[in-house]
């Protein structure tokens, strides 16, 4: 990890530790106050607990032009990105994505879409509906590894993270607390319940929290839809396409709408927010990731609406291309943050108990 980034975050965190005015805003400050001397691992852990809500920035009497020049959200964001890059496996891919995220996302979606189209052109699979375009076997052959490889990669990364922050044996209570925090996104509620300061200076609002929840729950619904579909396919011998009143659709349609809307909302918030309070180097990558995620959802919805038209195979290729890109890029994109955050919250819960 980059020593200068950690050192700068440590300098700022030490000022906070002497000040403590922000103690109520989020999980970062109580964690910070537990230690008198902050190790590199402590700083990494703080960085991954921070949600970049900016509450502490607007409350701080030491921001520039003050000579202490505090900008904790930015300092932690830089350490956070650096930690993901350092722990990512294989690492070079991660670094590239954070600097060229948008371009890589577009390139891979188009590339994979072309691949799917090529498969399509080489020969129809002779099935019904979407499977007329691509055989189910082909999809599984492509998506199964595309699903498990990134998970394996993430597991390796998180293991490195866990040992760097001194994690101990995981207990159920800590996990439950961490999931509770994440489910409510309590760290984005500002501690007082009025929300955070993301998009309009010191005004508190729940916009980012709600947009983020829409993305999270939209994603989970879409994921549930796909999982249920897979189970139905294999265990109930009920292949796609599914009617409107079926579980995959009942999960998938609201999920797709939530996810699309959430991503658009998040992008608009991001455009309005002050870029100097985040990690300037990751801005493009983050934005590219949200756009990609939104496109996955949107193309999925479009496929549902236009599935019986001539546009279907092109749409399907694009949708599958984006899904595949999304999965494969997961360990190296902002998507990884969810896994890191949850891990950091589990570690935080452990430390609260200790």
Partner 1 sequence: MEHDVVVIGGGNAALCAAMTAAEAGTSVLILETAPRAYRGGNSRHTRNFRCMHKGPLGPLVDDYREDEYLADLMKVTAGKTDGELARLAIRSSEECLPWMQDHGVHFQPPLSGTLSLARTNAFFMGGGKSLVNAYYRTAAKLGIDVLYEAQVTHLELAGDQIAWIDFSHGGESHRITPKAVVVASGGFQADTEWLTRAWGPAAKNFLIRGTPYNRGMVLADLLDQGVQSVGDADQCHAVAIDGRAPKFDGGIVTRLDCVPFSIVVNKNAERFYDEGEDVWPKRYAIWGRLVAAQPDQVGYVIIDAKSLNLFMPSVFPPLKADTIEDLATQMGLPADRLRSTVDEFNAACGDQTGFHPTELDGVATSGLTPAKTNWARPITEPPFYGYSLRTGVTFTYLGLKVDENAQCSTQEGPIKNLWAAGETMAGSILGQGYLAGFGMTIGTVFGRIAGREAAAHAS
Task: List residues near ligand SF4 by CB under 6 A.
Answer: 15-16, 19-22, 25-26, 28, 50-56, 59-62, 70, 72-73, 76, 187
Nearer to ligand SF4, 77 or 105 (CB): 77
Q: How far is the CB of 72 from ligand SF4 (least distance, A)?
A: 5
Nearer to ligand SF4, 24 or 90 (CB): 24
Nearer to partner 1, 63 or 135 (CB): 63
Nearer to ligand SF4, 101 or 195 (CB): 195
Look at residue 191 and give the partner it binds from partner 1, ligand SF4, none, a contact being a CB closer than 5 to 8 Å depending on partner kind.
partner 1
Look at residue 85 and give the partner it binds from ligand SF4, partner 1, none, a contact being a CB closer than 5 to 8 Å depending on partner kind.
none
Q: How far is the CB of 188 from ligand SF4 (least distance, A)?
A: 8
Q: What is the DSSP letter of 275?
A: G
Q: How far is the CB of 72 from partner 1 (least distance, A)?
A: 12
Task: State how far the Cα of 165 lies from the Cα of 46, in Å rounded to an integer.
Answer: 10
Residues whose CB is less than 8 angstroms from the CB of residue 25 and which lie 6 or more positions away in sequence, other chains included:
53, 55, 56, 59, 190, 191
Look at residue 195 and give the partner it binds from partner 1, ligand SF4, none, a contact being a CB closer than 5 to 8 Å depending on partner kind.
none
Look at residue 126 and give the partner it binds from ligand SF4, partner 1, none, a contact being a CB closer than 5 to 8 Å depending on partner kind.
none
Helix pair angle (283-306, 207-235), 10° resolution:
50
Q: How far is the CB of 30 from partner 1 (least distance, A)?
A: 8
Place of tokens 């101990």: 168
Query: Measuring CA to CA, how many Å separate 64 from each of 276, 280, 307?
Result: 12, 17, 54
- 330: nearest Cα among 293, 299, 297, 295: 293
DSSP 307-354: TTSTTHHHHHHHHHHHHHHHHHHGGGSTHHHHHHHHHHHHHHHHHHH-
Q: How far is the CB of 23 from partner 1 (least distance, A)?
A: 6
Interface residues with partner 1 (CB under 8 A)? 14-15, 17-25, 33, 36, 55-56, 58-67, 190-192, 194, 202-203
């Amino acid at each position: 990890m980059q020593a200068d980034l950690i050192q700068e975050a440590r300098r700022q965190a030490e000022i906070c530790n002497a000040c403590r005015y922000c103690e109520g805003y989020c999980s970062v400050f109580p964690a910070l106050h537990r230690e008198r001397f902050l190790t590199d691992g402590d700083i990494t852990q703080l960085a991954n607990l921070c949600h970049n809500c900016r509450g502490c920035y607007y409350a701080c009497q030491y921001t520039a032009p003050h000579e202490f020049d505090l900008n904790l959200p930015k300092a932690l964001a830089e350490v956070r990105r650096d930690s993901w890059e350092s722990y990512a496996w294989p690492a070079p891919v991660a670094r590239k994505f954070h600097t060229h995220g948008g371009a890589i996302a577009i390139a891979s979606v188009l590339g994979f879409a072309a691949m799917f189209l090529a498969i399509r052109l080489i020969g129809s699979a002779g099935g019904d509906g979407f499977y007329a375009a691509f055989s189910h076997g082909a999809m599984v052959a492509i998506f199964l590894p595309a699903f498990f490889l990134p998970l394996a990669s993430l597991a390796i990364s998180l293991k490195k993270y866990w040992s760097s922050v001194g994690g101990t044996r995981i207990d159920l209570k800590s996990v439950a607390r961490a999931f509770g925090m994440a489910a409510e996104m309590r760290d984005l509620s500002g501690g007082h319940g009025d929300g955070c300061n993301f998009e309009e200076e010191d005004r508190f609002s729940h916009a980012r929290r709600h947009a983020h929840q829409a993305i999270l729950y939209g994603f989970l619904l879409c994921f549930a839809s796909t999982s249920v579909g897979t189970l139905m396919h294999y265990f109930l011998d009920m292949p796609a396409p599914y009617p409107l009143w079926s579980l995959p659709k009942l999960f998938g349609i609201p999920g797709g709408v939530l996810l699309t809307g959430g991503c658009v909302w998040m992008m608009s918030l991001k455009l309005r927010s002050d870029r100097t309070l985040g990690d300037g180097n990751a801005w493009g990558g983050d934005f590219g990731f949200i756009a990609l995620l939104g496109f996955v959802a949107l193309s999925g919805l479009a496929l549902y609406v236009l599935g019986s038209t001539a546009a279907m195979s092109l749409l399907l290729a694009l949708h599958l291309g984006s899904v595949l890109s999304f999965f494969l890029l997961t360990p190296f994109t902002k998507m990884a943050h969810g896994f890191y955050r949850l891990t950091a919250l589990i570690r935080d819960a452990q430390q609260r108990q200790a």
